[in-house]
Amino acid sequence: MLTVFFPPTGFNFAVGMRLQSGDETFTIRATLAANIVDMKAHQKTLDVKGSAGWHCCIKCKNVLNVKRQRIATSDYLQHYSTASLQQRDLNTDEDYWEMADVLEAARPMLGDRSKTKFKELEKRLGVNHNPNGILLDKHLRKYFLPVTHSMEDWAHCIYASGGFGQYEIQQFCIAIRAVRVDMVQKLDSFAAGIRRPNGTKLLPKDFFARRMSTEDDGHIKCFMQETINAVTACRQFCQMVLQPAGRLPKHCECMRLLSEITCLLLSGDRLVQHTDILEQKSEQHRRLSLQVYGEDWATPKLHQFGHVAESIAKVGANLDTRHMEKKHNATKGTATHVMRHTRADGTVLHRLLWSEQSDMAGLSESEFSNCHLVNPQVAPADLAFILEAHLGERISQTAHTSRQMFSSVGKLTVGDLLQFSLAGGRAFGIARLFVSCQALGSTRTATMVVFSPLVQALPRHWQPASQLALASAQHLITLCYREVGEYIEPVLPELEL
């Protein structure tokens, strides 16, 4: 992406372009201000080991993720859970370029003869060798600075994907449960009474009791905004329930600091003028939380958040990824419908049909003949009764069912979208079951399709339906969508399967 905006040859945003406005001309230039992503994305961008590696912080040389006893005697090396702002030795952009160059030079010497030694060197440096990576792109070194442009996302550090705020809420719930067994339920009842200005509830019913991890060292399971709301609820619970009773004063103070940090972070760019306050409260919260909950609960994100105030001040803007991820419900909901055909009715396929009416109307009819079931199973008695009612006559032998059916145009599977020619017009339906039976006094086997009617195609009138229906395989016109593995594949005239 950077090479698109800052290519070695041709137009380059850093050089700029001249634009004209009336009789005046001006030059517009653009440079990279910051790369704000979660820590996993930073890890992939810079080819570093990340939070799980020894060097768990991309900005600190001496902060490590190792067993504490291994560095207990060192004044320079610090564990991520206890390193204060004053103890940190910061990396520079040149440090990362030098490490990438060292690995590039060592690769021919160590790579072929001793992969173990080369992996050990990568581990000690905290950088992975990637010949096509951004650190070794000499041209982009003018435009992308690995330390200067890497900005920590406070939303992920605290509120999402195992942020330390989620761990702290878990520890807070454990602490109040130790005071009284039903205290978490009281917290849920208290939170249920908190309303937003529009009257909606702040949190779902029994939020804390349901979302707590079964492991004491785990974290509460919730989305980013839910974590922010949970901090608000816990803070008010401390103010109105715990503090008047004189219970857990240090826990309440720790939650107060986390709540104030949340308010600062949610204040937008006004925070740029108050990053010193954010840095002060962050350090106070870090020290107190380690004292209250112990050092073992801390994660590398607690340390990484300590760089946020400095990054905001340097960039001059309070940036985060909340707006990029707030559509998770819509995204995951759509994915659910696509991956599970049983929930596609009235959603994805319905919308596809609406958008492709002209294509569907122009589908050429296929001749579905020689239909027979694949690995048929004996049908239940109630289904045989339904078949007799549908055919208007009794069947002569046991009916059979299957999830697949062979025909002259190929194999049909449960989940496929089929088009039928029925009395009153054409109908679309999702195949649910294939059935074969034989009427009394007849030698011809009738092959039926049990389907969920999706839409009925009449001139300019498509109406959804939801009940199961039966149709003879002889009434099949064409296959519109086919389920291939976990996906749905369209069968349109201009496409080939």
Q: Tens digits of per-residue pLDDT, 173-196?
A: 999 999 999 999 999 999 999 887
Residues 448 and 437 sit within 8 Å (Cβ to Cβ): yes
Q: Residue 158: what pLDDT?
A: 95
Mean of per-residue pLDDT scores for the chain: 82
Are 160 and 227 in contact by the 8 Å Cβ rule? The answer is yes
**What gap in Å lies between CA 151 and CA 314, rounded to an integer?**
10
Judge contact between 421 and 366, C-beta under 8 A: no
DSSP conformational letter for 444: P
Residues 6+ apart with CB under 8 A from 237: 187, 190, 191
> Which of the two residues, 345 and 75, has the higher pLDDT score?
75
Q: Which residues contact 37 (CB under 8 A, 6 or more apart)?
A: 45, 153, 321
Q: Is 422 a residue whose pLDDT tops 70? A: yes
Q: Which helix (H) or strand (E) segment is 48 a member of?
A: none
Q: Report residue 496 as tokens.
A: 């080939």
Using alpha carbons, list the distances in angstroms from residue 83 to 93, 154, 304, 316: 22, 19, 11, 26
pLDDT category of residue 455 using cuts at 50, 70 and 90: low
Distance in angstroms (rounded) separating the CA atoms of residues 18 and 26: 6
Confidence class for position 38, pLDDT limits 50, 70, 90? confident
Report the DSSP beta bridge partners of residue 64. Answer: 79
* pLDDT range class, residue 106, cuts 50, 70, 90: confident
Q: Kindly write down the DSSP assignment for every residue of 100-123, as one continuous string.
A: HHHHHHHIIIIITT-HHHHHHHHH
**Angstrom distance (rounded) from CA 160 to CA 38:** 10
pLDDT of residue 338: 47
Report whether pLDDT(445) > 90. no
Q: What is the pLDDT of residue 490?
A: 64
Give the separation between CA 11 and CA 145, rounded to whole angstroms.
21
**Between residues 315 and 356, the one the model is more confident about:** 315
The answer to which of 57-61, 169-173, 448-452, 455-459 has the lowest mean pLDDT is: 455-459
The predicted pLDDT at position 407 comes to: 86
- Give pLDDT, residue 463: 45
Query: At 422, which helix (H) or strand (E)?
Result: strand 417-422
Q: 184 or 463: whose pLDDT is higher?
A: 184
The rounded distance, in Å, linking the Cα atoms of 113 and 111 is 6
CA distances from 296 to 168, 255, 302, 486 (A): 12, 18, 12, 41
CATH tag, 342-490: 2.30.30
Q: How confident is the model at residue 491 (pLDDT cuts 50, 70, 90)?
A: low
Strand partners, 249: none
DSSP secondary-structure letter at 272?
Answer: G
Q: What is the pLDDT of residue 350?
A: 52
Higher-confidence residue of 481 and 194: namely 194
Position 363 pLDDT exceeds 70: no
CA distance 467 to 36: 49
* Delimiting residues of CATH 2.30.30 domain(s) in the chain: 342-490
Report residue 379's pLDDT band, with 50, 70 and 90 as the boundaries.
confident
- pLDDT of amino acid 410: 80
Asked whether 119 and 33 are in contact (CB, 8 A), the reply is: no
For the entire predicted model, the pTM comes to 0.65
* Burial (CB count <10 Å: 0-12, 13-18, 19+), residue 241: middle
Residue 393 reports pLDDT greater than 50: yes
Reply yes or no on whether the pLDDT at 425 is more than 60.
yes
pLDDT tens-place string over residues 46-87: 999 887 788 889 999 999 999 888 998 998 999 998 888 888
